[in-house]
Amino acid sequence: MNNDIFDDVATIYSKYRPSYPEKYINYLISKCNLNENSLIADIGSGTGILTKQFLDKNLRIIGVEPNENMRKISRKFLSNYKNFISIDGNDKNTNLEENSVDLITVAQAFHWFDVDAFRKECKRILKPNGKVCIIWNKLDTTNNIVKEEKDIDYKYTNQYKEINNILEDEKRELLIKDFFKNDNYECKITENNQIYNKETFIGVNLSKSYSLRKEDKNYDNYINAFEYLFNKYNKNGTLLIKNNTYGYLGSI
C-alpha cells in the first residue's frame, strides 16, 4: 500500500467522500453479533468515514492508517469518541495484537493491498470466529454522467488509466476471490445513491488519488470540465447519481 498517495488530498477526501448505508452498517452489526465488548479494526481507515459510522453505534474501533495526513484528520474528526483509537499501520503490519479483533473492515482501500500479506495479517489478529468485510462504493457505470466523468479523467490525468485498470469489476471480483479462497464469503449490495450540488460534485471528483492538484498546469481546465458536466445534467441545482455499496463479508 502506497502510504503517500493521498498526502495532498486528505482534507478534500474527508469533506466530500460519501459514507456507507446505515442499513448495511446495521446488517454487519447483526450478522457479526457485535456489541459494546467487540473490537473492530478498520484497516486503511483514511479520514474515518466508515469508522465514525461504527462509533455512532457505540462500538469500539481501531483505525489503522499508514498516511500521516489522513490519521491527523481522523483524530481531529473523531476526537469526541472515547471508543476510538488511531494507530499507524498498514495491510502488512497493523501493529495490532494477535487474536484481538472480532471484525476487520476495509472500505475503498483493498485495491491498494498486498492480498497475500493482508490475509496473513488478518489471520494473525482475528479472533477464532472473526470475519473480514471489504466494502466499495460503486457508481453506475452505465450512467452518462459517470461515463463523461471518466472521459474527463482520461483526458487530463496521467495516472487514471493505471488506477482505473485495477478497479474494473472483473479484477475487483478476482481480488476478492483470491483473498477469501474457496468462495467463503457473501456479497451484499445496498443502494447508496448520491445527491450533489456543484461544490460537492466537483469536490468528490477532486478527492481521488489521481485527481489533478492546483499546481498542475491543466487544473483550471479540469475544474471547468466538471463544472460544464454539472451544468449540463443538473436539475434545479442538484445531480442524483446512482451508487451501490458492495459489501463482501467472509471468513479466512
First vs last C-alpha separation in the chain: 21
pLDDT of residue 161: 66
Per-residue model confidence as pLDDT tens digits over 26-49 = 999 999 999 999 999 999 999 999
pLDDT greater than 80 at residue 114: yes
| 114 within 8 A of 229, measured Cβ to Cβ | no
pLDDT of residue 173: 85
| 29 within 8 A of 220, measured Cβ to Cβ | no
* CA 149/CA 139 separation, integer angstroms: 11
DSSP state for residue 225 in the 8-state scheme:
H
pLDDT of residue 9: 74
Q: Which of 93-102, 147-156, 174-183, 193-202 is the least confident region?
A: 174-183
Q: What is the pTM of this model?
A: 0.91
Split at pLDDT 50, 70, 90, the class of 122 is: very high
Split at pLDDT 50, 70, 90, the class of 19 is: very high
pLDDT of residue 235: 97
Candidates 190, 239, 188; CA nearest to 32 is: 188
pLDDT of residue 5: 47
Split at pLDDT 50, 70, 90, the class of 2 is: very low
Mean pLDDT, range 63-73, rounded to an integer: 95
* CA 237/CA 234 separation, integer angstroms: 6
Which domains are delineated in the chain?
10-139+169-195+242-250 (3.40.50.150)
Q: Locate 142 and state its grid cell.
A: 452505465
Per-residue model confidence as pLDDT tens digits over 136-191 = 999 998 999 999 999 999 999 877 766 665 566 677 888 899 999 878 899 999 99
Split at pLDDT 50, 70, 90, the class of 3 is: very low
Q: Is 116 helix (H, G, I), strand (E, B) or coil?
A: helix
| 121 within 8 A of 95, measured Cβ to Cβ | no
The percent of residues above 70 in pLDDT, for the chain, comes to: 93
Can you give 139-190 as a three-state secondary structure string? ECCCCHHHHHHHHHHHHHCCCHHHHHHHCCHHHHHHHHHHHHCCCCEEEEEE
